[in-house]
């Protein structure tokens, strides 16, 4: 009997020429439509990453000032600010992040801890913005105005002052004019409240980005927030026009998560970005390591989702 030789069964390079499958074909064949949900998730993520990473982010001629706000705690304001800002900065787009939350998580995630003066001193007239803005070690085109716990006292301190809602606006606008810095984006990370600090952020902004956590009570509080934004627009800041929502912590595999996304999109069809951020442990791991996803794991599906959101935000005006 003829001896079985496995080497003979391997097709030669000539036989294979023109017949090689590329990585996408192999994934589509293995993970195709009738495969497991993990398989189709992997296929979806791979194809999305390829398409998102091949696109360029549109540049902005003017400085777009965006408050990232939601009075609900823990919905992803800081995570959104950090990862949207770093996704823009990774492209070389000049970005300033103002940390307007006394918890100062944004400052530390961007590698800038307040040493000496910060945004509290700026808003109380003890320092100019140019004295506190520091370059982030993550990307050279990213700068941060850090905060510290001192900021928690400012609402009481400013309570009796005239035009107390416009303090940040004055400081920021005079800094932008005097420094000659050509930031394309200024993101302001807000604390979970609708107090004077948030009012200052909204008065200084032309746009708002609202992270919406995809959970059972997702819609609760959104109307109140939109009413507040509208009151600010009518009373203090007619330039506050572009309102965007971004769905965060989406779990593609649960029906509840899908239904909540649909309900939010149905309630605010023109406001909700079509890109959404998946709930992934990698996001929390990056935050725990005090880093942005863009630097911690740029290939993570959540980092890809943030880049996709940036492409969309850049096109939105
Ligand atoms: P606060 O109201 O206290 O300022 P926040 O709205 O800024 O909170 P984050 O601090 O960004 O919310 O997020 C709250 C927690 O949820 C953090 O531990 C963060 O790592 C985690 N988180 C945010 N987005 C995601 C996500 N897409 N997947 C997994 N974890 C997430
Ligand atoms: Mg926060």
3 state SS for 113-169: CCCCCCHHHHHCCCCCHHHHCEECCCCCCEEEECCCHHHHHHHHHCCCCCCHHHHHH
Helix/strand/coil for 107: helix
CB of 100 closer than 6 angstroms to any ligand 1 atom: no
DSSP 22: -
What residue's CA is closest to ligand 1, atom 9?
Answer: 76
pLDDT in tens, the chain (317 residues): 566 666 666 555 555 555 566 766 666 666 655 555 666 777 778 888 888 888 999 999 999 999 999 999 999 999 999 999 999 999 999 999 999 999 999 999 999 987 889 999 999 999 999 999 999 999 999 999 999 999 999 989 988 888 999 999 999 999 999 999 999 999 999 999 999 999 999 999 999 999 999 998 888 899 999 999 999 999 999 999 999 999 999 998 899 999 999 999 999 999 999 999 999 999 999 988 888 898 899 999 999 999 999 999 999 97
Residue 233 Cα to ligand 2 middle (Å): 24
Cα dihedral 134, 89, 61, 199 sign: negative
What is the pLDDT, as a whole number, of residue 113?
Answer: 83
At residue 251, the pLDDT reads 93
- In angstroms, rounded to a whole number, what is the distance separating the alpha carbons of residues 293 and 308? 14
pLDDT at residue 49, rounded to an integer: 87
**C-alpha 93 – ligand 1 centre gap (Å):** 24
Residue 97's H or E segment, with its range, is strand 95-100
Which of 51, 38, 39, 43 shows the shortest CA–CA distance to 23?
Answer: 43
Tokens of 138: 């993550």
Query: Radius of gyration (Cα) for the chain, nearest Å?
Result: 23
Q: Which ligand 1 atom lies nearest to the CA of residue 277? A: 27
Q: β-strand 142-145 against 134-135: which pairing, if any?
A: antiparallel
Rounded Cα gap, residues 230 and 212, in angstroms? 18
Contact call for residues 314 and 294 (beta carbons, < 8 A): no
User: Which atom of ligand 1 sits closest to the CA of residue 192?
Assistant: 2
Q: Is 31 in the pocket of ligand 1 (CB under 6 A)?
A: no
Q: Is the pTM of this model over 0.85?
A: yes
CA distance 222 to 225: 5
Length of the chain: 317
292 in ligand 1 pocket by Cβ < 6 Å?
A: no
Residue minimizing CA distance to atom 15 of ligand 1? 74
SS3 313: helix
């Amino acid at each position: 009997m003829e001896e079985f030789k496995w080497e003979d069964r391997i097709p030669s390079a000539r036989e294979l020429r023109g017949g090689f499958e590329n990585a996408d074909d192999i994934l589509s064949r293995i993970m195709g439509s009738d495969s497991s949900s993990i398989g189709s998730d992997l296929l979806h993520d791979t194809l999305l990453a390829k398409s998102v990473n091949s696109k360029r982010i549109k540049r902005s001629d003017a400085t777009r000032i965006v408050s990232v706000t939601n009075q609900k705690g823990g919905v992803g304001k800081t995570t959104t600010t950090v990862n949207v800002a770093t996704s823009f900065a990774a492209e070389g787009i000049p970005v300033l992040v103002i940390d307007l939350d006394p918890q100062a998580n944004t400052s530390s995630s961007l590698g800038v801890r307040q040493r000496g003066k910060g945004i509290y001193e700026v808003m109380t007239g003890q320092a100019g913005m140019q004295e506190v803005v520091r370059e982030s070690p993550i990307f050279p085109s990213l700068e941060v105005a850090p905060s510290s716990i001192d900021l928690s006292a400012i609402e009481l301190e400013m309570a009796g002052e005239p035009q107390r809602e416009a303090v940040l606006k004055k400081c920021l606008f005079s800094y932008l004019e005097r420094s000659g810095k050509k930031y394309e984006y200024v993101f302001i990370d807000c604390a979970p409240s609708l107090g004077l600090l948030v009012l200052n952020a909204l008065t200084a902004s032309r746009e708002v980005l609202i992270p919406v956590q995809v959970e059972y009570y997702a819609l609760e509080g959104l109307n109140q927030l939109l009413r507040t934004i509208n009151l600010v627009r009518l009373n203090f800041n007619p330039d506050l026009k572009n309102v965007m929502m971004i769905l965060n912590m989406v779990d593609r595999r649960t029906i509840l998560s899908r239904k909540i996304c649909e309900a939010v999109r149905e309630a605010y069809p023109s406001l909700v970005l079509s890109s959404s951020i998946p709930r992934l442990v990698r996001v929390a791991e990056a935050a725990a390591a005090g880093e942005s996803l863009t630097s911690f794991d740029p290939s993570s599906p959540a980092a890809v989702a943030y880049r996709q959101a940036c492409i969309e935000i850049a096109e939105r005006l």
